[in-house]
A and B are shown apart, each in its own frame.
Chain A
Amino acid sequence: MTERPALGADGLLLNVDGISKHYEGVTALDDVGLQVRPAEIHALLGGNGAGKSTLINILSGLTLPDGGTITLSGHQLDLRRASDALGHGINTIHQELSLVPALTTLDNIFLGREVNARFLGMNVKLDRRRMEERVRALAAEFGLSQEDLKLPVGEFGALKKRVVEIVKALAFDTRLLILDEPTSGLEEEERLNLFEHMRRLREKGVSLIWVTHHLEELYGLADSATVFRDGRRVGTVNVSDTTVDDLLGMMFGIAAGEFGSTSSAPALAEVEVESREEVLRLTDVNRSYVLRDISLTVRQGEILGIAGLAGAGRTELARAIMGIDKISSGTVHWNGNPVKFSGSSAAYRKGLAMLPEDRKQLGILPELSVSENISISSLDRVSRLGFVLKSRDEVSQAESYRQRLGIKTADVREKIRNLSGGNQQKAIVARCLNTNPDLLIFDEPTQGIDVSAKVEVHNLIREFVANGGAAIVIASEIGELVELSHRVVIMKKGRLVGSVDNVPHALVSGQFEAVKNRILAMSAGRTES
């Protein structure tokens, strides 16, 4: 047991009191408080736009509050920049990765906290050997090899970057560790590994503030939970005294049970897809090093789920279908005709559309308005003679999507970056729908958005196929895939290794867990050589 940090008179490690923050007339935080006891895991919950991220940015020194006090161990803090927070032992794992692509893993981990050695009598030279020695064991625990430490982070995929981020936060002495959705995109094993570390930190006397949208994760791990809604604090509870439904009720201000119960069989169970028209057929599609002998079909009115671990080639498959990446052999049939898309715009013209993974980097055009973001893929609908933009049409078109999809914004002319994640995602769905596609590919459609927005996005997908469209859904959460798909295929190392047909039927007969486990076994198991 290490030394317990000194505490304030109130016995709290962190006491946030009366914090407010306004942005150009929008209230992000309204007089909120947060009390964290020593050595506890404190969950911070709330829907998109509840103000969690703003509070975290304030605690990590990135945002200055308009008013209020932050007290750590009885000392009032004045956090003006990130280094102030880090200097007080407040470490944050940000949702937006704080890694620098050009630097190596090692330099990233120690960025801002480098270790120097003497050189020509001056203490100026970086001591990379010592830095490496300090993190080697911790890095290995998370599957980062010594080789990985020397590679630029920009070469890693999203998952590995997340792991580096975690190692970076754990590598230094911490009194308060803030984790903003640390598990999003992580595989089961890394997730459990991270949870183990969180427990161990708590045993050492460190307190953790933990933001998550996966409420079931809280049980058995978090001690207490504070719920925010619309920039205000709703309340703080002991996690062991509550149920998921209680928490949902606090987060969204509605009683438990009002949510579309997502795990019940979808109404589409009766859909007989076998007889429907085939929209897309892939035959023995290969792409060097990435895809191997992929054959599959998608029918009208069908949602095809693609399961698999990170790196299994799911996104690569979607990109190959869209013509973004070239395929090296095999054929693609679209509505019965062989096609070769020379790029995604060709695919869009033929009636395919894709909702890319990683909304912030690939999806939204942050500086443009919501309405411009919606119309960008099909500008001819709002232009005359091929170039004149009819902005009034653009706005009214966006307005109709706003109502249909429930995009929460005061004005569709608002810049999209000012919307919460869930609403940004809905706007991107609107953009795809606006191209009037026959097939829509959703790559991680609900990553990083809250439970209620998730249900809404699911319903949008269901509605789209019910109206005659076809959809491919890629998701890491197997439960989500099972709830949504008619059929799930499983990818592993660039191949299709199995499929589960007629999923809705299986759900009706109460085999949710069985189906889930089967998919999990196929995507992770060592079934083939």
Chain B
Amino acid sequence: METTSSQKNQTIVDRVVTRLLVDPTLGVLALLVLICLLAAFTLPVFLNGSNLYNLVNNSLVVMILAMGMTVVLVSGGIDLSIGTTMALCAGVTAAAMNFGLPLFAALLAALAMGALVGLGNGLLITRLGLPDFIATLAMLGFASGVLYIWTKGVPIIGYMVPEFYIVGGLTPLAGPLTLPMVIALLVALVLGGILGFTRLGTHFFAVGSSKTGAMQSGVRVERVRMQAYIVSGLAAAVAGIIMAGRNTNVPADLGNGYEIQAIAAAVIGGAALSGGRGRILGAILGAITLAAAVNLINLVGVPSSYQKIVIGGILVAAVLANRISAVVSGKVRQRKAMVLEGIPA
């Protein structure tokens, strides 16, 4: 009975604040609401329906990448090659279309390329024992080099067919709904389902949280890590397909800077670089928050070259917020444990 009385002593505000700090997903939601409120008072254009619609639509590519990145982060890795892989897969899609392959074959080829790059990352890490950071950085180099040599620096063009305008979201599917929205939702459901409700998902968390513990429990740690990179490669491929459709041409530098945005969105959404923590819903909200922040500074009239600085700043803030949330939730737990053991406040 002591429990209830001591909990009553906390004010509601106190509890709401604690809750926001403890749950990273709620934290990012609060940040998003804050940005919207800020914008509502200063720039009413921001809350304009078409602006919000464009904002969400524009965040989808980063969102899909961030979801793949979240899976890798949860399993204790990091994928720096995700942006370049996206560009490479966009190139494969475009080239396959130009080659005269039917649409679905071109899409399959892109997915296969994504999975292949992910497998390559996984092999470099588990077979050669390279650190994740180095292996995926090297892969970034390989993939972008291949794309440059292959395209000779000239953007791939001439592959757009009417269906492809739908794939890229340039032609809506039905009403305001675009195909990339549906695809992002599907990716979210599949990856969210895997992380939350399957053996593989549990193993991602286990490996990211404690490799030794997972290994001693009979988890095939290396295979699981490889699977995480294949997931992020596939996510990059899906994003690449959308990118090819949206951009209507594929330059070699199409993916530049996307790895940073993907990592930022995942981390804003509560994924921990140390592994074992992260959520698909968090990645989604993270991507939207990032897009909202960029959109807001665009509307204010800050030159677009400043965007990267803003993204960097938000990344720092998100990591700090994550750490605060970890500390606060540790304290809350401690308090709970003590209350359960009957130590009075």
Interface residues of chain A, those whose CB is within 8 Å of chain B, are 60, 62, 81-83, 86, 92, 94, 96-103, 107-108, 111-114, 116, 119, 124-126, 154-155, 157, 168, 288-290, 292, 311, 313, 493-494
User: Residue-by-residue, is B311-345 near A (CB-CB < 8 Å gives 1, otherwise 0)?
Assistant: 00000000000000000000001110111011111
Instruction: Pick from A92, A99, A116, A168: contact of B210, CB below 8 A.
Output: A99
Is A99 a contact of B344 with CB atoms below 8 Å? no
B99, CB-defined interface residue at 8 Å: no
Is B205 a contact of A103 with CB atoms below 8 Å? yes
Q: Measured between C-beta atoms, what is the minimum distance from B228 to chain A in Å? A: 14
Q: Measured between C-beta atoms, what is the minimum distance from B180 to chain A in Å? A: 24
B15, CB-defined interface residue at 8 Å: no
Is B202 a contact of A126 with CB atoms below 8 Å? yes
Interface size classification for chain B: 20 to 34
Name which of B30-38, B121-129, B212-220 contacts chain A.
B212-220
Q: Measured between C-beta atoms, what is the minimum distance from B330 to chain A in Å? A: 8
The answer to whether A289 and B219 touch (CB under 8 A), given A98-B213, A125-B198, is no
In the bound complex, CA of A155 to CA of B334 (Å)? 8
Is A100 a contact of B210 with CB atoms below 8 Å? yes
B276, CB-defined interface residue at 8 Å: yes
- Name the residue on A nearest B339 (C-beta): A289
A-B contact pairs, 26 of them (CB 8 A): A62-B216, A81-B215, A81-B220, A82-B217, A82-B219, A92-B216, A98-B212, A98-B213, A98-B216, A99-B213, A100-B276, A101-B210, A102-B205, A102-B276, A103-B202, A103-B205, A103-B206, A103-B209, A107-B205, A114-B199, A124-B199, A289-B339, A290-B334, A292-B343, A311-B337, A493-B342
Residues in chain A near residue B342, CB distance under 8 A = 493
In the bound complex, CA of A100 to CA of B214 (Å)? 7
Instruction: Pick from A94, A107, A311: contact of B216, CB below 8 A.
Output: A94
The answer to whether A100 and B218 touch (CB under 8 A), given A125-B198, A126-B197, A289-B338, is no
| Closest 9 A/B residue pairs (Cβ) | A112-B218, A102-B209, A102-B276, A98-B216, A83-B218, A289-B338, A111-B217, A112-B217, A100-B213
Q: Measured between C-beta atoms, what is the minimum distance from A143 to chain B in Å? A: 12
Taking A113-B218, A125-B198 as known contacts, 6 extra A-B pairs with beta carbons closer than 8 A to each other, sorted by chain A number, are A100-B205, A111-B203, A112-B217, A288-B335, A288-B345, A290-B338
Is A111 a contact of B212 with CB atoms below 8 Å? no
Is B206 a contact of A102 with CB atoms below 8 Å? yes
- Name the residue on A nearest B76 (C-beta): A102
Residues in chain A near residue B91, CB distance under 8 A = none
User: Residue-by-residue, is B9-47 near A (CB-CB < 8 Å gives 1, otherwise 0)?
Assistant: 000000000000000000000000000000000000000
User: Residue-by-residue, is B189-205 near A (CB-CB < 8 Å gives 1, otherwise 0)?
Assistant: 00000000111001101
Is A289 a contact of B335 with CB atoms below 8 Å? yes
Is A289 a contact of B343 with CB atoms below 8 Å? yes
Instruction: Pick from B197, B203, B205, B218: contact of A81, CB below 8 A.
Output: B218
Residues in chain A near residue B269, CB distance under 8 A = none
Is B206 a contact of A155 with CB atoms below 8 Å? no
Is A97 a contact of B213 with CB atoms below 8 Å? yes
- Name the residue on B nearest A122 (C-beta): B198
Residues in chain A near residue B210, CB distance under 8 A = 99-102
- Name the residue on A nearest B198 (C-beta): A124
B77, CB-defined interface residue at 8 Å: no
In the bound complex, CA of A359 to CA of B252 (Å)? 52
Is A111 a contact of B343 with CB atoms below 8 Å? no
Residues in chain A near residue B344, CB distance under 8 A = 292
B208, CB-defined interface residue at 8 Å: yes
